[in-house]
Amino acid sequence: MGAGMDMEDKPEGGTVRSRRRSGNKEETGGGRQRSQGGEEVEKESMMMELTRLVQKTVKESSWWERRGIDCSILAAAFLCLPPAFLLLASSHLFCFLLGVMMMGVAHAVITTKGTHLASHGALSESQVWGKFWAVFFIEICGSFSSNVGIQSHIKMHHAHTNVIGLGDSSVWKVPFLPRFIYLFLAPLAVPVITPLVALTYLRGQPAVCVLRTILMVSLGLYSQYWLLIHVSGFQSPFTALLCMLVCRAMFSVPYIHVNIFQHIGLDMFSPTRRPKRIYQMSHGVLNLPRNLLLDWMFGHSLINCHVEHHLFPQLSDHMCLKVKPIVSRFLSEKQLPYLEDSYLSRLQTFFHRYQELMVLAPPITELVGVQ
């Protein structure tokens, strides 16, 4: 991924597709491109032009489209919890396994889709309610600190997407783990690791925030444990804790995969020479295809509309899906990449290029004529 790499070319070992045609640019020595007169003005206004198109669509959309559909999905996940706890009390194996599956799916929806939307304030237009939902979903349901989560995700990952040392997704790298362990076994420990990592990040936080996080995380974990004992009828703490681990880890493998597939292995930028936002996001973010299960559990903004999400992070999942044709068409018209690849293709790429992508430091990309 060197300087001036044409994004239509497929990276070695991958099948990333992008809809980018050769633009009205001149080739110079070494394959570099030089912008023709007047193009710099267009670059300055492209993000504003796209923003106007997206804002127009948002304003014409109903509340149901902007927030209602995603809130209904989250509500449905919570409504699955009472029958799940009751099914876990059944002596019939099928009913018990159905209860485990229902709780696992509900947990994935609440702790991934819910926490992600809450961290972006996409569940409510009110700042007060937005902060409430952030604490509820991230701390009580997700067992993490809302302050730290928002700081690392919004102010680092989104503000500095694919910028080396800032938002380069290196937080997901564990270089000492072999590739099979990292890709398929280590994610199962995420439910245990998450609250422990949250505690380490509380250093330096205000005492009130530290106390609130500890209380809220403890409330969320103990509530599920108490219900398993008193409603589902588990006879021992060990079996209750084991059930909690199984349900919380059920979809942690695709969760880790999604977080690394859509940024790592794409263009990375220097903190001192980053491109303009629309170039940064179009070159450094990738969409996965539609997947009914992952779309519902993780949300469109994390799966098939990740490019749209990084360009407009305040939009809900459904609105990202609605503006997807606008964004893809706009980037194509402006001869910018719109990166897409399948889940299986990305998994194969990371499996075969694990050392290069997850252990070694990534190369820095220079977008000639842009930076």
DSSP 3-state of 167: strand
Average pLDDT over residues 337-346: 96
pTM for the full predicted model: 0.86
Q: Is the dihedral of CA 333, 339, 345, 349 positive or negative?
A: positive
Mean pLDDT, all residues of the chain: 88
pLDDT at residue 34, rounded to an integer: 43
Residue 11 has pLDDT above 50, yes or no: no
Alpha-carbon gap, residue 318 to 81, rounded angstroms: 24
Alpha-carbon gap, residue 28 to 113, rounded angstroms: 46
Closest by CA to 168, choosing from 178, 159, 181, 180, is 159
Phi then psi for 150, rounded to 5 degrees? Answer: -70, -40
pLDDT at residue 5, rounded to an integer: 41
Alpha-carbon gap, residue 172 to 182, rounded angstroms: 10
Per-residue pLDDT tens digits for 245-254: 999 999 999 9
Tokens found for residue 260: 């690394």
pLDDT at residue 21, rounded to an integer: 35
Per-residue pLDDT tens digits for 308-341: 999 999 999 999 999 999 999 999 999 999 999 9
Alpha-carbon gap, residue 203 to 218, rounded angstroms: 18
Which residues have C-beta within 8 Å of that of residue 315, sequence separation ≥ 6? 54, 58, 122, 301, 308, 309, 323
DSSP 3-state of 270: coil
pLDDT at residue 42, rounded to an integer: 55
pLDDT at residue 38, rounded to an integer: 52
Residue 273 has pLDDT above 90, yes or no: no
Is residue 293 a contact partner of residue 258, using CB atoms and an 8 Å limit?
no
Rg of the chain over CA atoms, in angstroms? 22
Residue 113 has pLDDT above 60, yes or no: yes
Which residues have C-beta within 8 Å of that of residue 273, sequence separation ≥ 6? 366, 371
